Amino acid sequence: MQTRETSNNEAVSSLYRNYVLMMLTLVYVFNFVDRQLLVILQESIKKELHLSDTQLGLLSGFTFALFYVTLGIPIARLADKTNRRNIVAASLGLWSIMTACSGLVRNFFQLLLARIGVGVGEAGGSPPAHAMISDYFPPEKRSTALSIYSTGIYFGILTGFLMGGYLNQHLGWRTAFFVVGLPGIIFSVLFYALVREPRRGATDLNPALAIESPSLREVLKRLYATKTFVYLALATGLHVFCLYGVNNWAPSFLSRLHGMKNSEIGALLGPIFGIGGAVGSYAGGLLTDYFGKTDKSRYLKIPAYAIIISIPCVTGALFLQNTTYSLICLGLTASLQSLYLGPSIAVSHSLVPPSMRSLTSAILFFVLNLVGLGFGPLTVGVISDWLAPSLGNESLRWAMSIVIVISFGSTTLFLIAANKLAVDLRLTSSTSQ
């Protein structure tokens, strides 16, 4: 039987590895189109299905994240032992099918099950993709490569908001789920046919480490002992709490507080979050790979500085009454808040051997998404419902403002992780000889 995995002697060209990066990034675009589509449609869904803000927070946040992160670990464990290309292709097909099925629901429970299906599918997307990228790109180029991959988040938001807003306005939210879900099914087949599985550890100094098969307990023990990873995971979790607390409620915020129509929101927020976030994500990779050559701690200090600068931008977005100024601040916030992901994944992968990378990404994403995606939108929704009797529509503004306080905590944890990174990298290097 012919295998599609690259052989030990096969030299992977720069052109081909960039092609694979493009294909994986497109998969990530589909990931976030399907994930964020609900966000732009949620006001229409709320009216038709008679939902509360707490229920919307469960749909777009906690319930999705619970299944996403729980299944992410066993799928990543499988990916560290088997063909990662196959897992990515199958996952894309599953979550695209479940997105299309979301257009058939008649009540909250049915939509909840459909979103769980999307979460189950997306659980197998990123950890195997991260490991593939680390096997195609050497350490000095990984942060940039992983940051390029992470731009898929923002191009996905751009596409989802533009398509979702237009389709919802003209054809309804049910049709939007169908139209967005079906192309992903087709692309999953193309990805399986056109992408090769890389050789594990191909870009590492000691590729022999890639053949090890550590247990889940061994991986968890190693990561817990590596204090950089512990603080980094907590830092990203709190940061993503803020990020999703703003992004997932921004369409509702503009609708309720600024009186914008759904189609206007999609047309404006799509480019603001999509282009702004993509620029920030790409800049994060370039800046950390460049300045990190002489000081590895800058891989985490640069995201920390970006978060500090984003705090007044978030404040302006929420409290400026002028819609144009509020949108400008949202764009700046999206750019600054997106610098963290590529460098965070690159640092995590630098702390473990190749045989642990998919699982390391899954554990990082477990914390990141459970704390951030799971509780960010849900907390905002619960507080908004709690304040609504006394504040009306203003309740959402004040509920979202919790992210301003949380951002100080995430910044502090990023800086602590940065100060521990040099020692942990030396320990990792000594155990890999």
Question: Is residue 277 over pLDDT 50?
Answer: yes
Question: Is residue 125 over pLDDT 90?
Answer: no
- The confidence score (pLDDT) of residue 211 equals 54
Which of 107, 93, 122 has its CA nearest to residue 35? Answer: 122
- The confidence score (pLDDT) of residue 304 equals 96
Phi-psi region of 75 (alpha: psi -120 to 50; beta: other; left: phi over 0): alpha
Question: Is residue 152 over pLDDT 50?
Answer: yes
- The confidence score (pLDDT) of residue 359 equals 84
What is the dihedral angle through the alpha carbons of 262, 265, 270, 271, rounded to the nearest 10 degrees?
Answer: 150
In percent, how much of the chain has pLDDT > 70? 93
- The confidence score (pLDDT) of residue 294 equals 85
**Residue whose pair of structure tokens reads 């504040």 in the numeric block:** 391
The predicted-structure confidence for 61-116, as pLDDT tens digits, reads as follows: 777 777 877 888 888 888 888 899 999 999 999 999 999 999 888 898 898 899 88
The predicted-structure confidence for 282-316, as pLDDT tens digits, reads as follows: 899 889 888 988 888 999 999 999 999 999 999 99
Question: Is residue 119 over pLDDT 90?
Answer: no
5 has which bridge partners? 197
Query: What are the structure tokens assigned to 237, written together?
Result: 């979790």
- The confidence score (pLDDT) of residue 213 equals 66
Q: CB neighbours of 298 closer than 8 A, spacing ≥ 6? A: 288, 291, 292, 418
- The confidence score (pLDDT) of residue 12 equals 62
CB count in 10 Å sphere of residue 22: 11
**Residue whose pair of structure tokens reads 């967005």 in the numeric block:** 180
**Residue whose pair of structure tokens reads 């940065």 in the numeric block:** 418
- The confidence score (pLDDT) of residue 411 equals 96
With cut-offs at 50, 70 and 90, classify the pLDDT of residue 5: very low
With cut-offs at 50, 70 and 90, classify the pLDDT of residue 10: very low
Cα(265)–Cα(260) distance, rounded to whole angstroms?
Answer: 6
Cα(169)–Cα(162) distance, rounded to whole angstroms?
Answer: 11
Radius of gyration from C-alpha coordinates of the chain: 21
With cut-offs at 50, 70 and 90, classify the pLDDT of residue 130: confident
The predicted-structure confidence for 229-252, as pLDDT tens digits, reads as follows: 999 999 999 999 999 888 888 988
More confident residue, 372 or 242: 242
The predicted-structure confidence for 173-225, as pLDDT tens digits, reads as follows: 899 999 989 999 999 999 999 999 888 766 665 555 545 667 778 888 889 88
Question: What integer is the mean pLDDT of 306-331?
Answer: 94
CB count in 10 Å sphere of residue 215: 10
What are the φ and ψ backbone dihedral angles of 291, each rounded to 5 degrees?
-75, -20
Question: Is residue 3 over pLDDT 60?
Answer: no
Sorted by where each starts, the structural domains of the chain and their CATH numbers stand as 14-200 (1.20.1250.20), 214-432 (1.20.1250.20)
With cut-offs at 50, 70 and 90, classify the pLDDT of residue 143: confident
Instruction: Please give, one letter per residue, the 3-state secondary structure of the chain.
Output: CCCCECCCCCCCCHHHHHHHHHHHHHHHHHHHHHHHHHHHHHHHHHHHHCCCHHHHHHHHHHHHHHHHHHHHHHHHHHHCCCCHHHHHHHHHHHHHHHHHHHHHCCCHHHHHHHHHHHHHHHCCCHHHHHHHHHHHCCHHHHHHHHHHHHHHHHHHHHHHHHHHHHHHHHCCHHHHHHHHHHHHHHHHHHHHHHCCECCCCCCCCCHHHHHCCCCHHHHHHHHHHCHHHHHHHHHHHHHHHHHHHHHCCHHHHHHHHHCCCHHHHHHHHHHHHHHHHHHHHHHHHHHHHHHCCCCCCHHHHHHHHHHHHHHHHHHHHHHCCCHHHHHHHHHHHHHHHCCCHHHHHHHHHHCCCHHHHHHHHHHHHHHHHHHHHHHHHHHHHHHHHHHHHHHCCHHHHHHHCHHHHHHHHHHHHHHHHHHHHHHHHHHHHHHCC
CB count in 10 Å sphere of residue 370: 19
Q: How many degrees, rounded to 5, is the angle at CA 353 between CA 350 and CA 356?
A: 105
- The confidence score (pLDDT) of residue 4 equals 43
The predicted-structure confidence for 46-56, as pLDDT tens digits, reads as follows: 888 888 888 88
Q: CB neighbours of 399 closer than 8 A, spacing ≥ 6? A: 249, 379, 380, 381, 383, 384, 387
Question: What integer is the mean pLDDT of 122-145?
Answer: 86
With cut-offs at 50, 70 and 90, classify the pLDDT of residue 228: very high
